[in-house]
């Protein structure tokens, strides 16, 4: 399989979360171009979060929606109390589960296949939840699928919002100059919000050039949001950073094959 030699890839993950994807792209021979299109920050007023944390023992299930939810949620929990002795914890995806293990949570319920609310909801352990009290650690806003379906199954659900997302104020001139010079062959987006932010940060003048650049996303739902935002060349990959890089490698191989046929 062709490597990514000579390929510039825009990495839009938040700055503190980009290192692994950057490392994988560079290990495959590509150039990872950091351009955070999303910022993650702690809450200005964590009072409602702390109130829920004080009641953690009341819940039958605690769900962490993302690695960010683990980072900010666990930090808030430890700042207020000890971990409940009998704590049933679930995570949306293996990345979040791994972060929970790093934070000392020994047993985590998480889907082996799939990286979204639907995959978690499909687990046998969550089919009979009538009467359960569930708390979901997440950022402000977001999808309601998990809570709505758990409620439909008879659970009572509360949110513990522990961080917020925002579009960064960052200079894009250097990135756009590289785009115009043909130095950017692909971009990545790991959320629909990131895809929308990247479009906005690119600006109207350079959007016609950028919108046809292959945008690699790790979930069909992200592709739907990106398409609605105007991205035209979308490639859905397997989940996670590894899935994104595998998708980039497969795309590169196919591109080289097509170039070979055209010059034959």
How remote is the C-alpha of 3 from its chain's centroid? 25
- Residue 27 covered by a domain: yes
Please tell me the distance from the alpha carbon of residue 227 to that of residue 189, in angstroms, as a whole number. Answer: 12
Please tell me the distance from the alpha carbon of residue 205 to that of residue 41, in angstroms, as a whole number. Answer: 30
Helix pair 192-202, 220-229: axis angle to 10 deg: 30
- Residue 2 covered by a domain: no
Question: Which among 166, 191, 224 is the end of a domain?
Answer: 166
How remote is the C-alpha of 22 from its chain's centroid? 15
Give backbone dihedrals phi and psi of 184, rounded to 5 degrees, phi first.
Answer: -115, 120
Model confidence, pTM: 0.82
Same domain, 217 and 243: yes
Same domain, 149 and 217: no
Q: Which domain holds residue 147?
A: 41-166
pLDDT (tens, 9 = 90+) of the chain, 264 residues, equals 568 999 999 999 998 889 999 999 999 999 999 999 999 999 999 999 999 999 999 999 999 999 999 999 999 999 999 988 889 999 998 889 999 999 989 899 999 887 789 999 999 999 999 999 999 999 988 788 999 999 999 999 999 999 999 988 877 899 999 999 999 999 999 999 999 999 999 989 999 999 999 999 999 999 999 999 999 999 999 988 999 999 999 999 987 766 655 555
- Residue 87 covered by a domain: yes
Same domain, 54 and 74: yes
Same domain, 259 and 196: yes
Please tell me the distance from the alpha carbon of residue 106 to that of residue 93, in angstroms, as a whole number. Answer: 16
**Alpha helices of 153-219 — where are they, by DSSP H?**
173-180, 192-202, 207-210
Q: What is the CATH number of the domain that holds 233?
A: 3.40.50.10090
Question: Which among 166, 185, 209 is the end of a domain?
Answer: 166
Same domain, 100 and 205: no
Question: Which among 166, 187, 208 is the end of a domain?
Answer: 166
Please tell me the distance from the alpha carbon of residue 164 to that of residue 180, in angstroms, as a whole number. Answer: 33
Give the count of domains, the chain. Answer: 2
- Other Cβ atoms less than 10 A from the Cβ of 47: the count is 7
């Amino acid at each position: 399989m062709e490597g990514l030699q000579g390929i510039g890839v825009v990495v839009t993950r938040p700055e503190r979360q980009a290192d692994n994807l950057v490392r994988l792209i560079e290990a495959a021979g590509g150039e990872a171009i950091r351009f955070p299109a999303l910022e993650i920050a702690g809450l200005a007023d964590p009072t409602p979060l702390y109130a829920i944390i004080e009641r953690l023992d009341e819940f039958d299930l605690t769900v962490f929606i993302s690695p960010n939810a683990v980072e900010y949620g666990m930090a808030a929990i430890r700042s207020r109390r000890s971990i409940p002795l009998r704590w049933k914890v679930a995570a949306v995806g293996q990345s979040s589960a791994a972060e929970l293990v790093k934070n000392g949570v020994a047993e985590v319920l998480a889907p082996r296949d799939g990286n979204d609310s639907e995959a978690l909801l499909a687990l046998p352990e969550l089919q009979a939840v009538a009467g359960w009290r569930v708390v979901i650690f997440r950022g402000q806003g977001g999808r309601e699928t998990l809570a709505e379906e758990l409620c439909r199954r008879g659970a009572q659900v509360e949110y513990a919002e522990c961080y917020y997302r925002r579009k960064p104020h960052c200079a894009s001139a250097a990135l756009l100059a590289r785009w115009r010079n043909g130095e950017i062959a692909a971009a990545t987006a790991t959320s629909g919000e990131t895809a929308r932010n990247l479009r906005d940060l690119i600006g109207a003048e350079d959007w016609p050039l950028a919108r046809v650049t292959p945008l690699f996303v790790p979930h069909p739902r992200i592709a739907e949001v990106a398409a609605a935002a105007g991205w035209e060349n979308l490639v859905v990959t397997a989940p996670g950073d590894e899935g994104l890089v595998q998708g980039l490698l497969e795309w590169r191989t196919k591109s080289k094959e097509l170039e070979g046929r055209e010059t034959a």
